[in-house]
Structure 1
């Protein structure tokens, strides 16, 4: 379990993390979401003792990270896939970590097999692709067989097979009763992986809830209807006191409507329906809705301005 209480980090006048309080519990995959600059990486670094909080507290299974004996056996983390000495082989990198935390050397072979790097175990890591580096970082996180794992953007650089593998790995770890805390910008992937969400914006907590409740609370649900007897259907729905919005292409929308009720009304009145489908926003749409006011860096549509004097032929660096 990871527990944050009033966790705060300031860099001069800049507040990167602002009184965060939440608990990451075992048995579920908890997604950690927020726009760029929201404070996610800083929060993860404070959990691992890499940055010291200005105020507040964070504990790993009730203990501060710097007081954990052999911390890799408590919490394993992937924060930066490139945090590896390029002159070392994958095997030696993991062996050094194992020896520093009292982990049997036999565990090195086990985690290399788990992440699919056995064939390149003796190769120097400077020749690894980004995806191979990600796999090595995940192997390091799993090395101590920890009860808690924490991943920052774990699918970066992975191919589709690798993404499918890490998704199933995180679910499997949670099913074993471990605490799984993962940050990602890939909303479609998070929607398939996370059970619970912690969302922050500009360092502040915006949501701490289940995936289903988050989407439901931050999006519009409606029933979409299409019928060749559109005008008759409109009359029937109005008579039943159901508010209908006319959308484009002859489509009708009923906000927060029940498709069963609409289908039964249509059937009783002999109305043919070509479509009767409940609609719910995606995680991405719900996330954008919630964090719209907390985005620090805004891009704008349209051609980027070329610095004066560079001329029409300038193509940038």
Structure 2
């Protein structure tokens, strides 16, 4: 478990992390979201004592990171896949980490096989592609078989098979009762991976809730209804106290009602439906709505003058 209590980090006049408090619990994949410049990377660096907080504290299983004996056995982290000596082979890079933390040499081969790098284990890391570098970083995070795992943009550079693999791996690790904390800008992937979300903007906590609750609270869901008797359908809905608004291509949009109930209502009045489809809000829509006021860098459409 990771506990953040009133955590703050200031760089000159800029408050990068602003009195952030939350708990990352074991047994679920917790997603860490926020716009660029929100303070995600700074927060993760403070968790690992790579940056010192201006205020507040971080505890990992009740201790500061610096107090952990052989920390790779407790916390495995991928923050920067390029943090490797390019002249070392994948095998030697992991072996150095293993020896520094009292990890058996046999574990090196195990994690290389797990991430699919056994065929290139003796090749120098400087020749690795972006995806291969990511796999090596993931292997380093898994090396100590830790109870807590932190990943910053873990799917960066991975092909579709690799993305599916890391998603399945993170869910499996959480299923074993481990703490899994992952930051990513890929909303579609986060929606498939995370069970719980922590969202920050401009260094402040915006949400700490389950994936389902986050989407339900911050985005609109509705039922799309289309019929050759559209006006009659609208009258029937209105008579039942249900508000329908015009939607795309002449369809009706109904919010706050169950699709099955709407279908049964139309059937009772012998109204033919050509479409009755629940439209679920996406994580991306919910995220954009919640963080609209916290975006630091705004791009413009068009090419400019």
Establish whether TM, by shorter chain, passes 0.5: yes
Q: Which residue of the partner structure matches residue 3 of structure 2?
A: 3
Q: Distance in 2 between matches of 1:246 and 1:87?
A: 63
Q: Which residue of the partner structure matches residue 226 of structure 2?
A: 226
Q: Which residue of the partner structure matches residue 108 of structure 2?
A: 108
Stretches of 4+ aligned residues off by more than 4 angstroms: none
For residues 40-82 of structure 1, the C-alpha deviation after alignment (integer angstroms, 9 at most, x for no partner) is 0000000000000000000110000011110000000000000
Q: 1:113 Cα shift?
A: 0.4
The SS at the match of 1:297 is coil
Tell me how large the CA RMSD over aligned residues is: 0.7
Q: Which residue of the partner structure matches residue 257 of structure 1?
A: 257
Alignment of 1:240 with 2:240, yes or no, is yes
Task: Give me the TM-score of the superposition, normalised by structure 2.
Answer: 0.99
Q: Which residue of the partner structure matches residue 310 of structure 1?
A: none
Q: Which residue of the partner structure matches residue 269 of structure 1?
A: 269
Q: 1:84 Cα shift?
A: 0.3
For residues 228-253 of structure 1, the C-alpha deviation after alignment (integer angstroms, 9 at most, x for no partner) is 11111111111111111012311001
Q: Which residue of the partner structure matches residue 295 of structure 2?
A: 295
Q: Which residue of the partner structure matches residue 308 of structure 1?
A: none
Q: Which residue of the partner structure matches residue 98 of structure 1?
A: 98
| Higher mean C-alpha displacement, 252-261 vs 25-34 | 252-261
Q: Distance in 1 between matches of 2:125 and 2:247?
A: 55
Listed as ranges, the gaps of 5+ residues in structure 1 are 306-317
Task: Give me the TM-score of the superposition, normalised by structure 1.
Answer: 0.95
Q: Which residue of the partner structure matches residue 207 of structure 2?
A: 207
Q: Which residue of the partner structure matches residue 56 of structure 1?
A: 56
Q: 1:222 Cα shift?
A: 1.1
Q: Which residue of the partner structure matches residue 137 of structure 1?
A: 137
The SS at the match of 2:199 is strand
The SS at the match of 1:63 is coil
The SS at the match of 1:86 is coil
Q: 1:255 Cα shift?
A: 1.4
Q: 1:261 Cα shift?
A: 2.1
Listed as ranges, the gaps of 5+ residues in structure 2 are none
Q: Distance in 2 between matches of 1:211 and 1:248?
A: 28
Q: 1:304 Cα shift?
A: 3.2
Q: 1:297 Cα shift?
A: 0.2
Q: Distance in 2 between matches of 1:248 and 1:216?
A: 22
Q: Which residue of the partner structure matches residue 286 of structure 2?
A: 286
Aligned length: 305
Q: 1:293 Cα shift?
A: 0.3
For residues 61-114 of structure 1, the C-alpha deviation after alignment (integer angstroms, 9 at most, x for no partner) is 000001111000000000000000001000000000000001111100000000
The SS at the match of 1:158 is coil
Q: Distance in 2 between matches of 1:209 and 1:304?
A: 40
